[in-house]
Amino acid sequence: MILKVENISKAFGKNKVLQNVSFEMNSSLLYGIVGENGSGKSTLLKIIVGEWKPDHGNILVEGRVGYCPQKTLLFFQLTVDENLRYFAAAYEMGNAELFSRSESLMNIFNFRKYRKERISNLSGGTQQKLNLAIALLHQPKLLILDEPYNGFDRDTYFRFLDYTNQLRKEGCAILVVTHFLPEKDRFDKIFNLEEGELI
């Protein structure tokens, strides 16, 4: 088991955002959680990645987690290479591993030519490619994506879908949280999050 979400509840004042949300994921699975704005998706994500604590329930995660948030977590005055080196240091990766992984990911998502560019000079789509590459840099066992389709152009979208097949072969579990889910036949399971309850 890679991820176990057990009876998670969260309220802000009288507003019950999540109510006894439970599900499990094993390796190589691709799951989707779909919900409208205000359904509790962002709250659930922040609890799973450890940013917030639930009022009740438990989260168990085995192995490394890669988190690709909707809003990029990039340093805009640094270059693409410098951002990759920064996060590689946080992941405690060596130089050889960083070089191998970064070269591979830049080629897969087609942004290698921007490696010396400052983030502030890049388009939103290219920033999102780097955001995804950083989440994948340390070869996580669980990849969590928050509204990934919003920032992807058509080419990146299909490159990502193809790459999910490789990730699953390597044993990575992938959780996509979004308000819109295309290519539903690719998913092992899809949940609807409605008024804080997982259906």
Beta-strand pair 189-194/197-198? antiparallel
Q: Are 117 and 80 in contact (CB under 8 A)?
A: yes
CA 172 from centre of chain: 12
- Chunk the chain into consecutive blocks of 10 residues (it has 199) and report each block's average pLDDT, rounded to whole numbers: 97 94 97 92 94 96 93 94 97 96 96 97 93 96 88 80 92 93 89 93
Please tell me the predicted confidence (pLDDT) of residue 92. Answer: 96
Please give the model's pTM, rounded to 2 decimal places: 0.94
130's enclosing H/E stretch is helix 124-136
Please tell me the predicted confidence (pLDDT) of residue 181. Answer: 83
171: left (phi over 0), alpha (psi -120 to 50) or beta: left
Domain extents in the chain: 1-63+141-199, 79-139
Q: Are 54 and 18 in contact (CB under 8 A)?
A: yes
Burial of 35 (0-12, 13-18, 19+ CB in 10 A): buried
Please tell me the predicted confidence (pLDDT) of residue 70. Answer: 85
C-alpha pair distances (Å), 124 with each of 69, 86, 94, 179: 14, 20, 29, 20
SS3 content of the chain, % helix, strand, coil (to 5): 35, 30, 35
Please tell me the predicted confidence (pLDDT) of residue 183. Answer: 80
Could you tell me the sign of the dihedral formed by the alpha carbons of 122, 120, 50, 15, in that order? negative
Please tell me the predicted confidence (pLDDT) of residue 26. Answer: 97
Q: Cα–Cα distance between 114 and 95 in angstroms, integer? A: 20
Please tell me the predicted confidence (pLDDT) of residue 147. Answer: 86
What is 1-63+141-199's CATH topology? Rossmann fold (3.40.50)
